[in-house]
Amino acid sequence: MPIIVLSLMILASSLLFLFMGINKGSMDYALSKRIPRLIAIILTGGCIGFSTIIFQTITDNRILTPNVMGIDSLYVAIQTMLIFAFGSSSAFVSNKKINFLICLVFMILGTSLLYKLIFKKDNANIIFVLLIGMICGTFFRSLSSFMQMVIDPNEYLVLQNKLFASFNNVNVDILFLSIILVLLMIPFVWDDIKYYDVMSLGKDQAINLGVDYDKIMKKSFVVIAILIAISTSLVGPLTFLGILVANITREMMKTYKHSYLVTVSILVSIFTLVFGQVLMERILHLSTPVSVVINMIGGIYFMYLLYKESRI
């Protein structure tokens, strides 16, 4: 039932996003601009919703998300280093496809290193995981801030467009490539969905039940890196969206089956972004990006979760 309701809500929000405020004379032009943006929003929401649920399962914690662990800070650091080293006119920056592939490769390498740091110990508890995430995130942010202070101001303006999430400035040049990558990911992880049901019981129980735990974990981290790279490259970092939609999903769906959890999480994430964009842009006519509001609400909810966990 929630899947049907959410699907209808997404459909209604999408129609409002596409057709609200369009004059008949400019419909073709307006739709040519809005349709790619809508596809990018749906793709971003799907990537974040899926990767967050899977990441929380393999880390066995509802507070953690790939973004909280500093993966989006890695994206910011990569973009900053490229402009710092080669300049904004370099093909590494100006060519959106090359830039995207560079980010993709380095984010996969970064998350692979994160995997080794976190799970090289058999008893890596949540404090250790959070500590690693905070150290990595702080390091990447500090490195980025240093380079941003010394680069040319004109170069910084180019960099700034890449660092803030905005659905008004969607990177449509990599939209087709992103769709292909997401479609390739579906068969790659589809058969593993059932294993996440068992992995949610814990590492020892999963291994005892015949799950190749390390193989699934490594594959999951690669998939998460690709999906976060896609979503961040399309619209920019959305730090707290994942934690918001994942916990809403778990409150709505009192089940251990990830086929339902993943589906509902994706739908909640897409609806949040589409409806939020319609509300801010079409109804309230505000210039504030919806990402700012989402990060504010998500940040408050994250602090609430930390407070709640500290009292248990």
Residue 262 — very low, low, confident or very high, per pLDDT cuts 50/70/90?
A: confident
d(CA 265, CA 267): 5
For range 305-310, the mean pLDDT = 69
pLDDT greater than 80 at residue 267: yes
Torsion (CA) 39, 40, 44, 50 in degrees, nearest 10: 30
For range 139-165, the mean pLDDT = 80
Which position has the higher pLDDT, 44 or 237? Answer: 44
Architecture of domain 2-20+37-310: Orthogonal Bundle (1.10)
What pLDDT is recorded for position 120?
Answer: 60
d(CA 130, CA 64): 8
What pLDDT is recorded for position 165?
Answer: 62
**pLDDT per position as a tens digit, 21-42:** 777 777 777 788 888 888 888 9
For all residues of the chain together, what is the average pLDDT? Answer: 80
Highest mean pLDDT: which of 6-15, 228-237, 288-297?
A: 6-15
pTM of the model: 0.83
What pLDDT is recorded for position 185?
Answer: 84
Residue 11 — very low, low, confident or very high, per pLDDT cuts 50/70/90?
A: very high
pLDDT greater than 70 at residue 223: yes
**pLDDT per position as a tens digit, 58-73:** 877 777 777 766 777 8
pLDDT greater than 60 at residue 159: yes
Q: Is the dihedral of CA 57, 61, 64, 69 positive or negative?
A: negative
* Residue extents of the structural domains in the chain: 2-20+37-310
Amino acid at 125: N
